[in-house]
Structure formats: structure tokens, C-alpha cells
Structure 1
Amino acid sequence: MITALLLIPALLLDAALGEPKWLWSRLPHPAVLMGRLVGLLDNRLNQGSHKRGKGAAATLTLVAVGAALGIGISLLGPVPSVLVAAILLAQRSLVDHVRAVATGLQTDLQSGRDAVAMIVSRDTKQMTESQVARSAIESGAENFSDGVIAPAFWFLVAGVPGILIYKMVNTADSMIGYRNDRYLEFGWAAARLDDLLNLIPARLTAALIALTGWCLNTLPEIAQDAGRHRSPNAGWPEAAMARVVGCALAGPRSYDGKLQEFAWVHPKGRKDLNAPDISRTITVLWQVWGIFLLVTVALAQLF
């Protein structure tokens, strides 16, 4: 499996370098370019009637562009393929952002709020210490699935076209996959395709997290908790992380000044959380990354 052989240096490069500011302060990050394309399609097509059909056409356009670019890059040889994969993985940057929340909380509560506001969309101004820590842990678990495991999985399956298609769709979902008046119809296709592409990676992430905490026997309970989550996929890594860290996740939170009564994930877990719980989450993220790297090495050897 050539993709496994190429994924090994990509994983290592991402873990070592992350997203160097000296580079991305001079060049637009590929995720930024993807966002611009999504924005262009949104501005051009999201109007008038037949919005669901237009949204589907926009999503197919993103898939086609990702596939064409991926095939073209693949033809250039292994080095460009490795570099693209490394750029589109997010292990180091994710860990850095989550660690910043722990560091902030260790300084004072407001610093923790400021740091967590960089990685979540919920209201942060009135958060308690536990709410800040919980938000960081949830973000770490969910984004590890769709920022590391899912793109790596689709690279293994389909090489550079696979990872580019996944990132195109995932970017679209983050921008137009909302259930509001503007995007309920237009963003439907992007949101559903993103759900489909994350179906296996989210459950794989949950199993790997449970494995690091020696709690694979709780997978039925993890599945039950995942079903309570508002997302068909995000609940899986969150439910697994909640058991490994020993805490309750999700639950009520505020968006745009309105309290949303979401169900708790692992409600029997601790609700009084702090910076050490975030640090424990970071340790788990690296442990799971290490296991995934070993699996990738094994695949490269086998095939």
C-alpha cells in the first residue's frame, strides 16, 4: 500500500512542524483557498429557488476540483504527495491550540477563556473554569477525528485525491453546513456528505481513544452516548475521551446569548474540570497518534 508508505513521513512532518507561521504568513494556506472557493460558490449559487439542488451542484464541484487537483499532484511524484498530506493534517496545530487553553487557565480564568475562544464557536465570556476545560477537551476530541484521523484515513484509501476531497467537503460543512435560514437547503448536501465521509473515521477514533485508556469494553456505552450527541459523528470521539479522562462532556452551553440544553455525554463523569484534565487529553491525543502511526507502518510493511 503505497499510500501508507507516503503517510508515514507526512504524519511525522506534521507532528514536528505543524503550521509554521513563517510560511503561512507569506502564502495562503490551502484551507484558506478552499474556503475562498466555498465562499465563491455560496455567493454565486445560494440565491433564488432550488437551493438544495444548487447546493448539491456546489458540493459536486468541490469534489471534482479536489479530485482533479489530487490526481495532478499525484502525478508529480511522492514528495509533493507527502507535503500536501502533511499540510492537510492538523495534529501539531490542534495540540498547540488545546495546550494554550490549559496554559491560559493556569494563569487566570480570563486567559483560559481567551484561548478557548480561538477553537470553539460557543459563548466564552461568562464561562467557568470547568466550562473552559470541558470545551477544550471536546474540541480536542472532535477535531482530532476530523483534523487528523479522517484526512489520514482518506489518504490511505485514495491518496492525495482522497484527502483533498475530504478537506474540501469538511471545509464546506464548516462554512455552509448550518441549519439556519440561509444554509438549511443550500448546505444540505455538503453537511450530509461530510457526515458520510466521517462515518468510519469517527468510530475508528473512538476505538483508538478507548484503546489507549484500556476501556474497549465500554464501546457499547460509548455508542449509546454518541447517540445522544447532536452530531452523528462527533459524539463518538467525545464519548470515548470522556471515559478515558473520567469526565462528563457536552451538556448545556450558550450560543449567541441563548442557552442550549444539549445532553451530557458520559453524564456520570466528573463535571468539575480544570487544566490538568486538558493536559491529560493532550497526552491521550499523542498516544492515539502514536498508535495510528504504528498501524500505518504495519500497513506499509504488509502491502
Structure 2
Amino acid sequence: MIDPGHILLLLAIALALDAALGEPEWLWSRIMHPIVAAGRVIGWLDWRLNRPSDAPRQQKIAGIMATALIVAGSVMLGLALEALPLADIIAAVSAAILISHRSLMNHVGDVARGLDRGLDEGRAAVGRIVGRNPQSLDEAGVARAAVESGAENFSDGVIAPAFWFIVGGLPGLIAYKAVNTADSMIGHRNTRYRDFGWAAARLDDAMNYIPARLTAALFALADLKLRGLKAAIRDARGHRSPNAGWPEAAAAKILGLALAGPRTYAGQFIDDPWMNPEGRQAATPRDIRESLDLYWRAWAILLAFAILGALVL
């Protein structure tokens, strides 16, 4: 049985550790990051189980098996870590490693600093955090992509890990991060992964359903107004993702921007609707910095919630 007050205390410690230390290069240049290790396992399962020559139904079954193995292995690892001596220290440090707020803020901030030096440097910086080709983006497109990535990844990389840590302890957190990593690797809608990656993509959607909506609410709290949440309720359903539209639409309204919209992805033009269509499309480095301020305020509210919960529960 998870003690809510205890797990919230560990979460508060993890949030503080992540904010203070981020992802130190000196450490992860010497040892393998857990997400990299998870990626190796997922890549091996892809190699062993994903046979393009199989019928779609067989590929889907193989993908379900792979996803089940990923979840089961993650839960077993989490339970094993919780059984070790100094389990609380292990849990807090593990959560700090798997919650990636500081790293996200650094990468989004790099885009603003890159644009200050020129469009080419801004494109190079945003190319490290988005999946589309940045060479097709002008300055406004680069700035919008940075804000969108910050909003979506604040949900995926901060709120969702915190949520699953509260709900399921270390097993829940590790399982979520493994599924999220699997979705990024095999959850694509192309010929190779449309069927094999179906289970990972659908499970990732399910595990992010509540966190995405909590993120929109958290942005509204950070804004001290309901406009962001109202915009998310209105616009998110039009987004290509069942979850990403919530934080993106809320951030768009609060910042006065129009986000998402038509774009070129993997060489194909995608006519997506705008989130907060009445907002400005001409985003600037200043908008990126204002988005960082919003994300830090939302992080502070999450930290305050964890501390207050630890004291009260």
C-alpha cells in the first residue's frame, strides 16, 4: 500500500533534485542513462519481434507482446528497487532522473538563445527537440515549435511521470517512462510500425490522458485565470493527438499565440487546425522566454502541492 504523504515527500525531493542538477553531462557521459537503456531493450524487441513480412494481425499481436513485456519488466524492476535497502533514497533519485523538467527548460531556452544569434542557430537548437525538419521553418515557426515542444513535453516529461509516481510508486513511474519511450521509438504511423507499434501508442495515449488535462489545469492555475483551460476544452479536440492539444491550447491562449496549425512532417504537408486560432502566429524569442516562465510557475505549483500534501496526508 502506497502512503500518499510519503510518496509526495519523495516527489518533492525528486522535483527539487531535478531542478537543481538537471542531467549532468559528466555523469551520463560515463554511464548509460536509464532511458537509453530502455531504448536498447525496446530496440532489441523491435528487432526480434517486428517482422515486416508478417500479416498486419500478426504484427499487431507481436507489438502487444512487446508492450506487455516492456510493462511487466518495468514493474518488476521497480518492485526490485523498492525492496532494496535505502529504498527511499533510490526512489527519490530515480524519480529525479526520470522527471526531466530542468533538461526541458534548458533545451527550450537554447532555441531562444539560438534565435538571438540567427535563424540557422535557432533551427539547429529546435531540431534537437522536435521531430520535423527545422529547415522549413522561419523564425516564427521555430519559436512556435519551441513553445509547442515545451508545453507537450512538460506534460509528458514532468506531469505524467509525477502522476504515475504518485499512483504507482517507482514501478508506476518506470512503467510510464518505458511506455513513453516505446511510443517515441515504435509508435509511428508508417508502414513498419503502424501495426507493431499500435499497442505502445495506444497505451501511451491512455497513460497520458489524465496528465495532459491536469497540465492544462496547472497552466491555468499558473496564469491565475481560467482562459487557458477554456481554450483547451474548446480547441484540444481538433489536435492530431488526443492529449498534446490540451497543454498546447492552454499555453497558446495564455501566451496569446496560435500554435500547432498546418505543417510539414516527414516530408508530408499536414493541415492541422490551430490551437487558439485568434492568437498571433508571428512568435518571437520573447514568446519562448515567456513560455519558460509559465512552465516554471506550473512546476512551482506542482512542487508546492507535493510539499503541502506531504505535510497534510
> TM-score when scaled to structure 1?
0.98
The reply on whether 1:216 has 2:198 as its aligned counterpart is: no
One of 14, 17, 22 as aligned partner of 1:10: 14
Measure the CA separation in 2 of the matches of 1:298 and 1:51.
47
Q: Could you list the structure 1 runs, at least 4 aligned residues long, displaced by more than 4 angstroms after superposition.
A: none
Q: How does 1:245-260 map to 2 (within 5 A)?
A: 245-260=255-270
Residue in 2 that maps onto 1:66: 74
Quote the Cα distance in structure 1 between the aligned partners of 2:46 and 2:229: 39
Question: What are the Cα deviations for residues 263-293 of structure 1, in whole angstroms up to 9, with x where unaligned?
Answer: 1111000111110000000001100000000
| 1:93 corresponds to | 103
- Cα distance change on mapping 1:222 and 1:102 into 2, 3 Å: same
Residue of structure 2 equivalent to 1:55 = 63
Match in the other structure for 1:155: 165
Cα displacement (A) at 1:158 = 1.0
Distance in 2 (alpha carbons) for counterparts of 1:212 and 1:174: 29
> Which one is further off, 111-120 or 41-50?
41-50
Q: Post-superposition shift, 1:217? A: 4.8
Residue deviations 1:196-230 (CA, integer Å, cap 9, x gap): 10011000000001121233255343112100100
The equivalent of 2:285 in structure 1 is: 275
Query: Which blocks of at least 5 consecutive residues in structure 2 are unaligned?
Result: none
1:210-265 CA deviation, whole Å, 9 max, x = no partner?
12123325534311210010000000000000011110000111123332211111
- In 1, are the aligned partners of 2:71 and 2:178 still within 8 Å (CA)? yes
Task: Mark the CA change 1:117 to 1:288 in structure 2 (over 3 Å): closer, same or farther.
Answer: same
Residue 122 of structure 1 corresponds to 132
> What's 1:261 paired with?
271
Identify which range, 115-124 or 138-147, moves more after superposition.
Answer: 115-124
Tell me which residue corresponds to 1:20.
Answer: 24
Q: Which moved more, 1:129-138 or 1:214-223?
A: 214-223
Q: CA RMSD in A?
A: 1.0
Instruction: Give matches, 1:21-40, under 5 Å.
Output: 21-40=25-44
- The one-letter code sitting in structure 1 at the alignment partner of 2:240 is R
Q: Is it true that 1:191 corresponds to 2:201 in the alignment?
A: yes
Amino acid at match of 2:295: L
On the 8 A contact 2:228/2:254 being kept in 1, the answer is: no
Alignment CA distance shift 1:287-1:109 (3 Å) = same
Partner in structure 2 of residue 295 of structure 1: 305
Q: Deviations over 1:73-108 (max 9, x none)?
A: 111211111111000010000000000000001111
Give the counterpart letter for 1:215 in structure 2.
Answer: K
Measured in 2, the distance between the counterparts of 1:20 and 1:219 equals 35
Tell me the TM-score normalized by structure 2.
Answer: 0.95
> Which of residues 204, 212, 215 in structure 2 aligns to 1:205?
215
CA deviation after TM superposition for structure 1 residue 301, in Å: 1.4
- Partner secondary structure for residue 125 of structure 1: helix
- Are 2:47 and 1:43 aligned? yes
Counting aligned pairs with the same residue, the percent is 52
Question: Which aligned pairs between 1:146-185 and structure 2 lie closer than 5 A?
Answer: 146-185=156-195
Q: What letter matches 1:97 in structure 2?
A: H
- Matches of 1:3 and 1:212, distance apart in 2: 24
